[in-house]
């Protein structure tokens, strides 16, 4: 019996403990045409909530305080789905006690044409203003308070879909971020169509995701020198934004971009430094890395990089469609994928040292500016015959991809492997000399699109059969080396004129057989494919 009582006592304690963990159901009450849910009996706070799925309509004025059963409550929120699908709701007045507008609170309130957001609001939930298609203007009394709101997604923001933002009754045409703001939060100006320019002062350090998404009328923006992060999609669909004003180029280079700044400029974005547009860019001496997207979509004609820079990030110069020339210093060791994607007007790449160039890690084919430029120069001199450095042990992927001025290449004896597409599309390559007695291994596409049977391959005499039996090399016109090849550099030997088979002068290389007169008097035949 005693044991049974102990068991019952234990069970009772377990049940009581379990019951204590079950939250008390929220209490609702209905007063003056609005339903309220008590948030805190202790703090005496409530939120406006849905009433039996019945739609609210017409004009609604929400009070700051409401009395029920001799208790006075402060209205601090608009609850989940509170006014969802209330298409006959034509206007609503929110009190200065509201701090939160909940999930889908005004979803599909198509009768709303304007709304005032009190400065007390600190958060607006997911899809709170989704499908409010006739909402045309948003009124605020405090821009700082607006910038401090946490918008959960784009449809949380009543500005969504080209809405006008008014401050104390006046349309904001020039947005000036208040000095108190240190970050522009995600979705803050999502869809705003009223301002043409924006000024972001030095106190701001970050711009959040989609912060200026579809600000359709914004043409220019000024950013401060302390900005260090711009999150993804911050300026997507800003079709008219073509100008960014900065006061410090080094500060711009230190920004972490999650995507291109000029998302919709199609390579016409203008970077204005202290009132002057930068078209001939020189990277500041203190910069050691060109970060991803740093100069994407900007209207540049030339880029000069100093010897402190070791890395060019992904898509750093993506869609710089007017970029003509670029110099790559010997300090560069890595160029990430897409760094020069769509740089379709590049004409030349100038390097300081061939050995350093051969050691660069190219992430993808379009990380190599040669893919578009076609011409590689060393210290401003174009060469045709490349004898690669003796200390080279491998030729890395994409190293000479699409290099049109290379006609012959000597591969040193210690090179044991050649990376993919390293000589692909080198249309004028007619001679390869390999000094290694063991045929170097070749990855895919090393000589892609080239008629290797028409390219002479010179190999050591003792390795003739090895090359004839080696994959890829066997496709070449193989010849035995009879003499030691001297270094050949045509640094001062430049093209003077070019003619077709009819003797007509060609201003540019033309498809087929070309006769080229060089500055040393030599005339040579070149096949252009």
Asked if 298 and 321 touch (Cβ cutoff 8 Å), the reply is no
Q: What is the pLDDT of residues 367-421, one digit of tens each?
A: 999 999 999 999 998 889 999 999 999 999 999 999 999 999 999 999 999 999 9
The yes-or-no verdict on residue 59 having pLDDT over 80 is: yes
Domains of the chain (ranges plus CATH)? 25-135 (3.80.10.10), 495-528 (no CATH)
> How is residue 473 annotated by DSSP?
G
Taking all residues of the chain, what is their mean pLDDT, rounded to a whole number?
90
pLDDT of 1:
45
Indicate the helix (H) or strand (E) that contains 89: strand 89-93
pLDDT of 33:
92
Q: What is the pLDDT of residues 175-208, one digit of tens each?
A: 999 999 999 999 999 999 999 999 999 999 999 9
pLDDT of 485:
40
Residues whose CB falls within 8 Å of the CB of residue 223, separated by 6 or more in sequence, listed in order: 200, 204, 244, 245, 246
Residue that has been written with the tokens 């006014």 in this structure: 83
The yes-or-no verdict on residue 528 having pLDDT over 80 is: no
Q: What is the pLDDT of residues 2-44, one digit of tens each?
A: 444 454 454 444 444 444 433 445 689 999 999 999 999 999 9
Asked if 114 and 135 touch (Cβ cutoff 8 Å), the reply is yes
Indicate the helix (H) or strand (E) that contains 21: helix 2-21
pLDDT of 54:
80
164-167, strands of its sheet edge to edge: 114-116, 137-140, 164-167, 170-171
The yes-or-no verdict on residue 90 having pLDDT over 70 is: yes
CA distances in angstroms from 64 to 17, 79, 210, listed in the order given: 38, 15, 33
Residue whose C-alpha is closest to residue 450's, from 479, 407, 391? 407
- Residue 276 three-state SS: strand
The yes-or-no verdict on residue 489 having pLDDT over 50 is: no
Q: What is the pLDDT of residues 445-460, one digit of tens each?
A: 999 999 999 999 999 9
**Full DSSP string of 152-174:** SSGGGSTTTTTBEEEETTEE-SE
Measured in degrees and rounded to the nearest 5, phi and psi for residue 376 equal -110, 125
pLDDT of 18:
40
Residue 130 pLDDT class (50, 70, 90 cuts)? very high
Decide which of 478 and 500 is more confident: 478
Average the pLDDT over each of 134-138, 399-403, 509-513 and give the range with the smallest value.
509-513
| Strands 65-68 vs 89-93: parallel, antiparallel or unpaired | unpaired
Both structure tokens of 207: 């711009």
Indicate the helix (H) or strand (E) that contains 7: helix 2-21
Asked if 477 and 454 touch (Cβ cutoff 8 Å), the reply is yes
What percentage of residues in the chain have a pLDDT greater than 90? 81
Residue 428 pLDDT class (50, 70, 90 cuts)? very high
Q: What is the pLDDT of residues 302-325, one digit of tens each?
A: 999 999 999 999 999 999 999 999
Decide which of 499 and 421 is more confident: 421
Residues whose CB falls within 8 Å of the CB of residue 171, separated by 6 or more in sequence, listed in order: 164, 165, 194
Residue 52 pLDDT class (50, 70, 90 cuts)? confident
Decide which of 96 and 487 is more confident: 96
Give a three-class secondary structure readout of 229-268: EECCCCCCCCCCCCEEEECCHHHHHCCEECCCCCCCCCCC
- Residue 126 three-state SS: coil
For the CA atoms of 339, 342, 401, 455, what is the dihedral angle to 10 degrees?
180
Q: What is the pLDDT of residues 256-275, one digit of tens each?
A: 999 999 988 888 999 999 99
For the CA atoms of 499, 504, 508, 513, what is the dihedral angle to 10 degrees?
-50
CA distances in angstroms from 335 to 149, 317, 357, 367, 455, listed in the order given: 40, 11, 11, 6, 30
Residues whose CB falls within 8 Å of the CB of residue 112, separated by 6 or more in sequence, listed in order: 89, 90, 91, 92, 106, 132, 134, 135
The HSE-up count of residue 499 (CA atoms within 13 Å, CB side) is 9
CA distances in angstroms from 433 to 150, 298, 400, 456, 484, listed in the order given: 65, 41, 16, 8, 11
């Amino acid at each position: 019996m005693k044991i049974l009582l102990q068991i019952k006592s234990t069970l009772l304690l377990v049940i009581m403990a379990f019951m204590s963990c079950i939250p008390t159901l929220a209490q609702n009450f209905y007063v003056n045409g609005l339903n309220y849910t008590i948030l805190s009996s202790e703090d005496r706070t409530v939120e406006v909530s849905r009433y039996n799925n019945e739609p609210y309509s017409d004009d609604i004025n929400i009070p700051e305080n409401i009395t029920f059963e001799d208790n006075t409550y402060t209205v601090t929120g608009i609850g989940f789905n509170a006014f969802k699908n209330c298409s006959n709701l034509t206007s609503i007045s929110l009190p200065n006690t509201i701090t939160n507008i909940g999930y889908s609170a005004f979803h599909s309130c198509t009768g709303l044409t304007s709304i005032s957001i009190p400065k007390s609001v600190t958060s607006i939930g997911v899809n709170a203003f989704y499908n409010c298609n006739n909402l045309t203007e948003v009124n605020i009394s405090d821009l700082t308070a607006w910038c401090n709101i946490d918008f959960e997604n784009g449809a949380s923001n009543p500005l969504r879909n080209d809405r006008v933002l008014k401050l104390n009754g006046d349309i904001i045409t020039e947005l000036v971020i208040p000095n108190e703001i240190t970050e522009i939060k995600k979705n803050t100006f999502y869809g705003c169509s009223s301002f043409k320019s924006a000024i972001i002062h030095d106190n701001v350090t970050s711009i959040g995701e989609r912060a200026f998404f579809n600000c359709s009328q914004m043409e220019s923006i000024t950013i401060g020198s302390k900005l260090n992060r711009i999150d993804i999609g911050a300026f997507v669909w800003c079709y008219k934004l073509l100008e960014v004003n900065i006061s410090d180029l080094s500060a711009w280079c230190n920004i972490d971009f999650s995507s291109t700044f000029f998302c919709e400029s199609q390579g016409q974005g203008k970077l204005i430094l202290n009132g002057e547009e930068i078209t001939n860019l020189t990277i500041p001496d203190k910069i050691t890395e060109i970060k991803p997207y740093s100069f994407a979509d900007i209207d540049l004609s030339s880029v000069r990089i100093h010897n402190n820079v070791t890395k060019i990030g992904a898509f750093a110069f993506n869609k710089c469609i007017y970029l003509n020339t670029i110099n790559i210093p010997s300090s560069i060791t890595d160029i990430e994928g897409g760094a020069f994607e769509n740089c379709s007007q590049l004409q030349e790449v100038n390097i300081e040292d061939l050995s350093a160039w051969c050691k660069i890690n190219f992430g993808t084919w379009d990380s190599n500016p040669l893919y578009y430029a076609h011409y590689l120069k060393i210290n401003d001199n174009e060469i045709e015959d490349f004898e690669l450095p003796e200390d080279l042990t491998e030729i890395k992927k994409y190293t000479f991809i699409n290099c049109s001025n290379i006609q012959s290449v000597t591969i040193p004896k210690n090179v044991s492997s050649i990376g993919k597409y390293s000589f692909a599309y080198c249309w004028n390559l007619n001679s390869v000399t390999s000094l290694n007695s063991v045929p170097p291994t070749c990855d895919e596409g090393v000589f892609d699109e080239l008629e290797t049977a028409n390219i002479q391959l010179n190999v050591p005499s003792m390795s003739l059969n090895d090359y004839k039996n080696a994959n890829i090399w066997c496709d070449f016109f193989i010849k035995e080396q009879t003499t030691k090849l001297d270094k050949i550099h045509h640094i001062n030997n430049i093209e003077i004129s070019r003619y077709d088979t009819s003797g007509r002068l060609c201003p540019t290389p033309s498809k087929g057989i070309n006769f080229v007169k060089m500055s040393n008097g030599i005339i040579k035949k070149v096949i252009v494919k």
